[in-house]
Amino acid sequence: MISSVLRRALSVSLLALASAVVLPACSSKNAAETTHLPYYGDRAMQPAPMAGPADTIFTVPTFTLTNQAGQTITNDTFKGKIYVTDFFFATCPSICPKMQSELLRVYEKYKDDPRVLFLSHTIDPAHDTIPVLRDYAERLGVKDASRWHFATAPHDTIFSLARAYMTGAQKDSTVKGGYAHSGTFALVDPQRHVRGVYDGMEPTQVNKLIQDIPVLLKEIESQKQTAAR
């Protein structure tokens, strides 16, 4: 039986794909020649500072989390960076080990690039305390909390962020571990726009994420150069 949260997460992912079609940013070239990634999320008018043009592209909401080093992390932690995010819990008996091994592939590829960060949210904050998160990260081989944050926050914050990142997570007493969630990875740009959504259980999708990261980095660098003229 498919958990209701996973059904909803699938619906969200399909809506995200539809939104990406509505907000095209990709060129018509093949994947190897793509110069821009799409934007994901609903269009919503946002008041702009200084009465300038409104931003109509969905952005990740503000957040305050705590990572495995006991440090407070916010949107500003990722200022000027791109980051990859997912949701897990340390005692997950089903998809988490596969997800994290796939995300570890991405991390190993970009761990030495300061422009790329990683953010994993626990959906079981009661169990996944700071020491548990620190141990979990270290067992994955992640020694530097500033590069890959394993973060905790109250359930309402985490579940709300899951929806913002086009995925789903909730308590579910009918499944092993007591929580249900999808295996989505999201790629986020420095303006807090979701620029890619990937199935973390599918190696081909994770390969696509690995390929999309330099595309987004190049796009950002091009924007900086244009702004400096």
The 10s digit of each residue's pLDDT in 97-136 is: 888 999 999 999 999 999 999 999 998 999 999 999 999 9
| Lowest mean pLDDT, pick from 55-59, 83-87, 146-150, 192-196 | 55-59
Mean pLDDT value across residues 185-212: 96
* 26-35, 175-184, 189-198, 200-209, range with the lowest pLDDT: 26-35
pTM reported for the whole predicted model: 0.81
Q: Taking residues 174-203, what's their average pLDDT?
A: 86
Q: What percent of the chain has pLDDT over 70?
A: 74
For residues 67 and 70, give the distance between their C-alpha atoms in angstroms, rounded to a whole number: 5
* 225 CA to centre of own chain: 26
Please tell me what DSSP assigns to residue 80.
T
CA separation for the pair 166, 15 (Å, rounded): 9
Q: For position 76, which CATH number holds?
A: 3.40.30.10
Q: What is the pLDDT of residue 228?
A: 81
Does 23 have pLDDT greater than 70? no
pLDDT tens readout for residues 55-77: 567 899 999 999 999 999 999 99
Whether the Cβ atoms of residue 123 and residue 151 lie closer than 8 Å to each other: no
Phi and psi (nearest 5°) for 14?
A: -65, -40
d(CA 123, CA 181): 9
Number of domains in the chain: 1
181 DSSP β-pair partners: 169
Average pLDDT, the chain: 82
pLDDT bucket at 12, cuts 50 / 70 / 90: very low
In the chain, the N- to C-terminal Cα span, in Å, equals 56
**Could you read off the pLDDT of 131-186 as tens digits, one per residue?**
999 999 999 999 999 999 999 999 999 989 999 998 877 766 666 666 666 789 99
Q: Is 15 helix (H, G, I), strand (E, B) or coil?
A: helix
Give 191's contacts (C-beta < 8 A, 6+ positions apart).
59
Task: Look at residue 211 in the predicted model and tell me its pLDDT.
Answer: 97
Residue 65's beta-bridge partner residues?
73
Q: Using 50, 70 and 90 to split pLDDT, how confident is the model at 82? A: very high
Host domain of residue 89: 4-228
